[in-house]
Chain A
Amino acid sequence: MPTPSSEVIVIGAGPNGLACATRLAQKGAKVTLLDALPMPGGGATPREFAPGFTTTLAHLTRGIDARVAKGMDLERYGLGFQTLQTTLLGPNPVTISRGKTASQDADFARLHDRLTQFARVLAPFRAIPAPTLGKGNDWLTLARLGLGIRALGKTEFRELLRMLLTNAADVAEDDLTDQRLQGYIAFEATLGAWAGPRSPNTLILLLNHLATGPDVLAPKGGMQAVAQAMTKAAEAAGVTIRQNARVTRIVTNGDTATGVELASGEALAGKTIVSTLHPGLTLRDLVGPRVLDAGLYTRAGHIHSRGGTARLTLALKSLPNIDNLENRLIIAPSVNAVENAFNPVKYGQIPDVPVLEVFFPTSLDPRPDGLHILTANVQFAPHMPVDGLDQARAQMLENTLRVLAAHIPDLRPLILHCELLMPQDVAALYGNPGGNWHHAELAVEQMLFLRPLRDLSQYRTPIEGLWLAGAGSHPGGGITGAAGWNAALAMEGAL
């Protein structure tokens, strides 16, 4: 733990940066939190996408990490959530509530139950540093978690081992008969990933979603309420937050980080520097090759960071006339629909029929002017479109609106403004190269002790005093703050 007099600089005021800074400040450190955007919150920070209309990059969550919510006392700062039901749009819509379909599909209930059980025993791994193959494990905790898994019983333990590294499509097709529900599993597993449901090891991504939280939640007051509550908690803990402070360099002296330089030219000294930015960007662009070993520098450039999700935001005159629009809506009618939407992305092309997660935030938190907003995560979008960004964006928007209009016939005339962010746009706005939600893709080869790289998996870097605490570190991103909190705990344990 940094001693009370020490200066800690945390880079990036997203949920991980806010969580990490707060924890460190609560333990007595003098913490300055630097952020490039005009307001704190990262993926939860409001941004005007059209005159008078704001949105946030993340539109839904599976919940803040429980330790973060408690440690930052977020309830006290007004944060509350509403659990959403999910409706699968199509000729015969299905609504799913807490793992059950309205039609009581027994296969689905069984599969969902099983996956939820798996997620429950795996979830504690999110709240500890990833186990390592070397020294430094907390064997007592690991033994306890291992016993927890084994306590599933012989049959379920064997099923977990069988299923853990399979792909989502196989599981959906093995265990379900209803195409719509198969499509749902396929979509849910690959949401935010650069992978189709038939890509290897995609089931573990679904387990990770479920381990983050069993239900999809909408923060009361919109996603910016998360940013506001976390910001208040950080300030209450004594964190100094500075906006429009883009860090351009991490200053080192020998093997030790000694401060940062800002785009303005200002230099700030610090004994401990914590970066919640992309690990590759942190090491290659901010630290640079001169003080890093050539092998690490090279590998940091090979961290897979492909974003596959475009973000659509529409400003609407009024809500369209469809049922269930206060629910989370998914348009992914089958496994093949999801897989077909991913295929062209492998070649830098745009899918003809993308799959979508749609939400009307204003259906829960109405605007005073009575106008409305639609937000959608659109999959899949190429992170490096072969036709160039502008043409790809226009094509992606057109294809997306066509799919939306097919399910919401009266939508088009209601649109006042629209914005579609391709992964490259997300990268430019939020500073995550590649535009992936998790900075480093969540994929088996970049999870746990391999996240973001084997020698960076304990939040430490080879530069003394420089730590990683962002979505690129275990357990990944999403609006949870888990990685930032884990990093703060690791720093306490180490110093």
Chain B
Amino acid sequence: MTLRFDLTPLLPTAFAARTEPLNRLMRFGPWAGYRTALCYGDTEMEYAAIRNTAMVYDLCPMTKYRITGVEAEDYLQRLTLRNVKKLPVDAVHYTAWVNDAGKVLDDGTLFRLGPQDFMICCQERHLPWLLDSAHGFDITVTDQTADLAGLSLQGPLAATILAKAGLDVAALKPFRLTRLPLGNGQVMISRTGFTGDLGYELWVTPDLALPLWDRLEQAGSVYGLRPAGNDALNLARIEAGFVIATVDFIPAHQALREDRARSPFELGLGWMVDFDKGPFTGRRALLRERETGSKWALVGLDIPGNVAAEGAILYHAKRHEVGHVTSAAWSPITKRSIAIAEISAKHAKGSDVWVEIYAERELHYAKLMLPVRVVERPFFNPARKRATPPERF
């Protein structure tokens, strides 16, 4: 039998009618069963838009679970690490969830749409875990991935463009959301994003996706708005210091090797864990880890030179392997080589730690052994990200 991949094609997203003609390279990649743009034509220009003007990025494949019911808050208290009681209505927080052993299954954003109405937005699929966790709670879990189109608008001019498009979000603070009329319906706008810059995520029913796109395109044309693909976004998110499931950590339920799963402490997400909020899945295991210490740490690295250290191995005293780089880039905005790296916890301070990079220069490889410096993330953290109201241009 011949394999016919065309019989199970990747799904187009709600914005495909606009994004696909714009893709000069026809460079698409699979994302959760959808076809999404990796690059529209020029990653550097797309990245430059994120940091200097604004870009739109198609978020539709993000997995979205709606959780409603009288015990929705209790349910999410048990499911996730942070204290959901502290999350007000019309606000969003970044959180994560772990298995019984305290190993991270995924991270994501939790939207509180009402007192008993929530949305989890994450990269991987988790319906079985969410349903298993639902036993004994009076709630409903619905997969809304296909019912809600998402468009990310990020960059210093994002608020200006929204205002021009008739969507005034000047008063919207970071991690808050609002709803504004759009056509016959409405658009939900959250001040969230994955770029570490001023930015918003816009959520509409799929029928309003193209009208939303067109409205933003029209408003943004004079401001240098352009669509960006995954490659540009990835560069921005590394500068912002964000981690991605399957890149910077392996979701515990996907890890085939027993020692590959990581706890929130080991991913730099320990700040999320609220031991005082009451029972939650993984609490006992995480308490034990807090007592006995973690094995790994995820750190930001500043590396000399200008060669991105992708996939590089870390050594202590140039000799003993102590970790590896999970994400790396030459950062245009900070003008330095940065990386996110997994390193054995006892070397997490970075003393006498070296990175071995194989740098390709016109078909010849040079082996570089460079000293690293452990630095705080985010690598780039502009004040405009937080300013309310945002600067107008």
Residues of A participating in the B interface, judged by any CB pair closer than 8 Å = 254-255, 284, 288-298, 301, 455, 462
List B residues 20-54 near A (Cβ within 8 Å): none
Residue of B nearest to A297 (CB): B135
State whether B137 touches A289 (Cβ < 8 A). yes
Could you say which of A288, A290, A293, A298 has the most chain B C-beta atoms within 10 Å of its C-beta? A293
Q: Which residues of the partner chain B approach A298 to less than 8 Å between Cβ atoms?
A: 132, 135
Q: How far is the CA of A298 from the CA of B132 in the complex (A)?
A: 6
Q: Give the most central of A291, A294, A297, A462: most B CB within 10 Å.
A: A294
- 8 Å CB contact of A294 from B74, B132, B284: B132
A-B CB proximity, top 7 nearest: A289-B136, A293-B100, A295-B100, A294-B133, A298-B132, A293-B281, A294-B281
Q: Contacts A255-B284, A288-B136 hold; do A294 and B279 have CB atoms under 8 A apart?
A: no
Shortest distance from the beta carbon of B79 to any chain A beta carbon, whole Å: 7
CB distance from A92 to the nearest CB of B (A): 55
Find chain B residues with CB under 8 A from A284 CB.
Answer: 135
Asked if B132 contacts A255 (CB within 8 A), the reply is: no
B-chain residues with CB within 8 Å of residue A255 when the two chains form the complex: 279, 283-284
Q: Which of B135, B136, B137, B284 contacts A293 (CB 8 A)?
A: B284
Contact B279 A291 (CB under 8 A): yes
Chain A's closest residue to B137 (CB) is A289
Shortest CB–CB separation between residue B339 and chain A, in angstroms?
Answer: 33
B100 touches A294 (CB 8 A): yes
The reply to whether the CB of B156 lies closer than 8 angstroms to some CB of chain A is no
Which of B74, B129, B283, B284 has the most chain A CB within a 10 Å cutoff? B284
* 10 A-B contact pairs sorted by A residue (CB < 8 Å): A255-B283, A284-B135, A290-B78, A290-B136, A293-B100, A293-B284, A294-B100, A294-B133, A295-B281, A462-B284
User: Shortest CB–CB separation between residue A279 and chain B, in angstroms?
Assistant: 16
**Min C-beta distance of A447 to chain B, whole Å:** 22
With both beta carbons as reference points, the residue of chain B lying nearest to A290 in the complex is identified as: B279
11 more contacts with CB within 8 A, not counting A290-B279, A462-B284, are A255-B279, A255-B284, A284-B135, A290-B78, A293-B99, A293-B282, A293-B285, A294-B79, A294-B129, A294-B281, A296-B100
Chain B residue at smallest Cβ distance from A463:
B284
Query: Which A residues lie within 8 Å of B129 (CB)?
Result: 294
Assess whether A295 is in contact with B132, with CB atoms less than 8 Å apart: yes
**Cβ–Cβ < 8 Å partners of A254 in chain B:** 279
Evaluate contact between A290 and B74: CB separation under 8 angstroms. Answer: yes
A290 CB contacts on chain B under 8 angstroms = 74, 78, 136, 279
**B136 to chain A: which residues have CB within 8 Å?**
288-290, 297
List the A side residues contacting B133 at CB < 8 Å.
Answer: 294
List chain B residues, Cβ under 8 A from A293: 99-100, 281-285
In the bound complex, residues from chain A placing their C-beta under 8 Å from that of B132 are 294-295, 297-298
Residues of B at the A interface (CB closer than 8 Å) are 74, 78-79, 99-100, 129, 132-133, 135-137, 279, 281-285
CB distance from B281 to the nearest CB of A (A): 4
Chain A contacts for B284, CB-based, 8 A? 255, 293, 462
**Contact (Cβ within 8 A) A289 B100:** no
Q: Which of B135, B283, B285 interacts with A289 by CB under 8 Å?
A: B135
A170–B284 CA distance with the chains assembled, in angstroms: 46
The interface residues of chain B lying within 8 Å CB-to-CB of A292 are 279
B97 to chain A, nearest CB (A): 9
Determine the distance from Cα of A294 to Cα of B78 in the docked complex, in whole angstroms.
8
How many angstroms between the C-alpha atoms of A290 and B279 in the bound complex?
Answer: 7
A295–B282 CA distance with the chains assembled, in angstroms:
9
Residues of B near A462 (CB, < 8 A) are 284
Minimum C-beta distance from B124 to chain A (A): 16
Give every chain A residue within 8 A of B74 (Cβ-Cβ). Answer: 290
User: Which B residues lie within 8 Å of A291 (CB)?
Assistant: 279
Of listed B74, B78, B100, residue having the most chain A CB within 10 A: B100
Say how far B108's CB is from chain A's closest CB, in angstroms: 16
CA distance in complex: A462, B286 (Å): 13
Shortest B229–chain A CB gap in Å is: 36
Question: Cβ of B279: which chain A residues have Cβ within 8 Å of it?
Answer: 254-255, 290-292
- Bound-complex Cα distance A294 to B279 (A): 11
Closest residue on chain A to residue B128 by CB atoms: A298
* Known contacts A294-B281, A295-B281; A301 and B100 CB within 8 A of each other: no
For the complex, give the distance between the alpha carbons of A83 and B342 in Å.
Answer: 66
Residues of B within 8 A of A294 (CB): 78-79, 99-100, 129, 132-133, 281
Q: How far is the CA of A255 from the CA of B133 in the complex (A)?
A: 18
- What A residues does B282 contact at CB under 8 A? 293
Residues from chain B with a CB closer than 8 A to the CB of A289 are 78, 135-137
A254 to B276 CA separation, bound complex (whole angstroms) = 10
> B100 contacts which chain A residues (CB < 8 A)?
293-296, 455
Query: Which residues of chain A are within 8 angstroms of B285 by Cβ–Cβ distance?
Result: 293
Q: How far is the CB of B227 from chain A (nearest CB, A)?
A: 39
Given the complex of chains A and B, what is the CA–CA distance between A289 and B99 in angstroms? 14
B70 shortest CB reach to chain A, Å: 14
Residues of A within 8 A of B281 (CB): 293-295
Complexed CA–CA distance, A272 and B172 (Å) = 53
Residues of A contacting B78 in the complex (Cβ-Cβ under 8 angstroms): 289-290, 294
Shortest CB–CB separation between residue A338 and chain B, in angstroms? 37
In whole angstroms, what is the CA distance A288 to B285 when docked?
19
User: In whole Å, how far is B131's beta carbon from the nearest beta carbon of chain A?
Assistant: 9
Residues in A whose Cβ lies below 8 Å from that of B137: 289
How many Å lie between the Cα of A289 and that of B133 in the bound state?
A: 8
Give the complex CA separation of A294 and B137 in angstroms: 12
Instruction: Please measure, in the bound complex, the distance between the C-alpha atom of A295 and the C-alpha atom of B99, giving whole angstroms.
Output: 7
Q: How far is the CB of B240 from chain A (nearest CB, A)?
A: 31
Closest to B136 in A: A289
CA distance A290 to B283 in the complex (A): 12
Closest to A294 in B: B133
With known contacts A255-B279, A290-B279, A301–B99 Cβ distance under 8 A = no
Q: Complex Cα distance A296/B283, Å?
A: 13
Task: Report the nearest B residue to A455, measured CB to CB.
Answer: B100
**Assembly CA distance A293 to B133 (angstroms):** 8
A298 and B78 CA atoms in complex are apart in Å by 14
The complex places the Cα of A255 from the Cα of B281 at a distance, in Å, of: 12
Closest A residue, CB atoms, query B131: A298
CB distance from B120 to the nearest CB of A (A): 15
How far, in angstroms, from A301 to B134 measured CA to CA in the complex? Answer: 13
Q: Considering the chains assembled together, what is the distance between the CA atoms of A294 and B141 in angstroms?
A: 15
- Please report the C-alpha to C-alpha distance between residue A43 and residue B26 in the assembled complex, in whole angstroms: 72
Distance between B105 CB and nearest chain A CB, rounded to angstroms: 10
**Cα-based distance from A289 to B77 in the complex (angstroms):** 12
Inter-chain CA distance A455–B132, complex, in Å, is 18
CA distance A329 to B81 in the complex (A): 60
- Cα separation A255 to B287 with both chains bound (whole Å): 11
Report the minimum CB–CB distance from A235 to chain B (whole Å): 37
A296 to B135, CA, bound (A): 12
In the complex, which residues of chain B have a beta carbon less than 8 angstroms from the beta carbon of A301? 135
CB-defined contacts of B99 to chain A, threshold 8 Å: 293-295
Complex formed: what's the CA distance from A258 to B269 in Å? 33
Which residue of the partner chain B has the closest CB to A462? B284
Distance between B99 CB and nearest chain A CB, rounded to angstroms: 5
Smallest CB separation, A280 vs chain B (Å) = 12
Cα distance, A455 to B284, chains bound together (Å): 13
Per the bound structure, the CA–CA distance linking A247 and B133 in Å amounts to 25
What separation, in Å, do the CA atoms of A296 and B279 have in the docked complex? 14
Q: Which residues of B contact A288 (CB under 8 A)?
A: 136
Distance of B104 from chain A, by nearest CB (Å): 14
Chain B residues closer than 8 Å to A295, beta-carbon distance = 99-100, 132, 281
Residue of A nearest to B130 (CB): A294
Taking the closest CB of chain B, its distance from the CB of A133, in whole angstroms, is 11
What residue of chain A has the Cβ atom nearest to residue B133's Cβ?
A294
CA distance A462 to B79 in the complex (A): 17
Write the chain B residue with the least CB distance to A252: B279
| B216 CB, nearest partner CB in chain A, Å | 40
Question: In the complex, what's the smallest C-beta–C-beta distance from A285 to chain B, in angstroms?
Answer: 10
Within the complex, the shortest CB–CB distance from B127 to chain A, in Å, comes to: 13
Provide the bound-state CA to CA distance between A304 and B120, in Å. 33
A4 to B89, CA, bound (A): 52
- Cα distance A469–B283 in the bound complex, in angstroms: 25
